[in-house]
Amino acid sequence: MNGSAVSRAARTEEVRVALYAHFARTGAAPTPQDLAGAAGVTPGEARRALEDLHAHRDVVLDPEDHDRVVMAHPFATVPLGFSVMGRDTLWWGGCAWDSFALPHLLTGEPDVLVATRCPACDTPHAWVVGRQAPPEGVQVAHFLTPAAHIWDDVVHSCAHQRLFCSPDCVDSWLEATGRPRGYVMDLPTLWRLARGWYAGRMERGYVRRDPVSAAAYFAEVGLHGPFWGLPD
């Protein structure tokens, strides 16, 4: 790798870290101008870094406006069914997985309040989610899109990782929408899935899991079956 490529990679990493720090602090996406000031780069370099991060699936950019970050998992800028409230900051939770993951990255928050509505019957639900143990509750999560296809349309996939009152509500929603059954898990399994999935993402040098290490992680937290690329 030549010096120019190294320099571009270094700038991109500085922008990535600045972007996540801004999301954590404010609950909102930074602009290229915000990132330029925080990362010590020009606005043009910040834009190129965002495009590089999008290409490597570290962020999701608005297809019509590459200055706008739609998602930087587990942060989101669009409502996808969840809100996550800390002591002083409100975040959009991109999905059930990401909403439960946020307290594990937000080290300044002892816990957060995750709120949503059941997609089947509109019943409101809220849990205090922390880092020590899963929240209590009989609700279940339903994930529609298999893990191997999440990035085929990542916003659609995240919008359909939802929490329901019960398996009966999942069945009612599937019947009403005509969608195929995905994967259903209880709250402790969801919490374990979220707990370590993004470990290190706020720090320099973070590397996304490859398919092999991802599958090993899924098995470790208690998931199973082809939906997760695992044996039944």
Q: How many domains are contained in the chain?
A: 2
Q: Is residue 88 part of a domain?
A: no
CATH of the domain at 101: 3.30.450.410
From first to last of the 232 residues of the chain, give the pLDDT tens digit: 445 666 999 999 999 999 999 999 999 999 999 999 999 999 999 999 999 999 999 999 999 999 999 999 999 999 999 999 999 999 998 899 999 999 999 989 999 999 999 999 999 999 999 999 999 999 999 999 999 999 999 999 999 999 999 999 999 999 999 999 999 999 999 999 999 999 999 999 999 999 999 999 999 999 999 999 999 8
**Is 100 in the same domain as 213?**
yes
What is the C-alpha separation between 32 and 71, in angstroms, rounded? 15
pLDDT at site 95 = 96
Domain with 190, as residue range(s), is 93-228
**Is 127 in the same domain as 222?**
yes
pLDDT at site 197 = 98
What is the C-alpha separation between 62 and 71, in angstroms, rounded? 9
Q: Is residue 9 part of a domain?
A: yes
DSSP 147: G
pLDDT at site 175 = 98
Q: Residue 165 corresponds to which tokens in the numbers above?
A: 């009152």
pLDDT at site 232 = 84
CATH of the domain at 8: 1.10.10.10
pLDDT at site 94 = 86
**Is 100 in the same domain as 40?**
no
**Is 100 in the same domain as 214?**
yes
Asked whether the bond before 74 is cis by omega within 30 degrees of 0, the reply is yes
Q: Is residue 51 part of a domain?
A: yes
Which helix (H) or strand (E) segment holds residue 113: the answer is strand 111-117
Q: Is residue 146 part of a domain?
A: yes
Buried b (16+ CB within 10 A) or exposed e, 21-30: ebbbeebbbb
The pTM score is 0.94
Which helix (H) or strand (E) segment holds residue 167: the answer is helix 167-177
Q: Is residue 83 part of a domain?
A: no
